[in-house]
Amino acid sequence: MVLLVVTWVVDLLWMIYWIPHWASEEMQNVQKGLHDFVVFCSFVNFVMKLAVIVMLWLTQRDMLRKQVDQIQSSIKSQGIAGVITGAPVRHAQQMP
């Protein structure tokens, strides 16, 4: 997710720099159709990455909350040793 956020920020910086440059008078007649297509694809990519970042953040937050609740209930029922080993702890019977 970190890499996705970093590439989203780079896309934002790229669009802030290049879109005004391509719209300038200097670049007005140089492959305008190609530039417009690249800007359109970049904008679509930017919006899609933003949606994926938000959905991952929401999903991971809920997943982490569920896992913490599950671990807490396991500790209450099995004890910490059972949670660490993954098997329920059976207490040894006391010898008479």
Q: Reply yes or no on whether the pLDDT at 28 is more than 50.
A: yes
Do residues 74 and 40 touch, judged by C-beta distance below 8 A?
A: no
| 32 band by pLDDT with thresholds 50, 70 and 90 | confident
pLDDT attached to residue 84 = 62
| 95 band by pLDDT with thresholds 50, 70 and 90 | very low
Q: What is the pLDDT of residues 54-75, one digit of tens each?
A: 888 887 777 777 877 887 787 7
Q: 35 burial class (0-12, 13-18, 19+ CB within 10 angstroms)?
A: middle
Q: How far apart are CA 64 and CA 72, in angstroms?
A: 12
DSSP 36-60: HHHHHHHHHHHHHHHHHHHHHHHHH
Do residues 63 and 73 touch, judged by C-beta distance below 8 A?
A: no
pLDDT (average), residues 36-55: 90
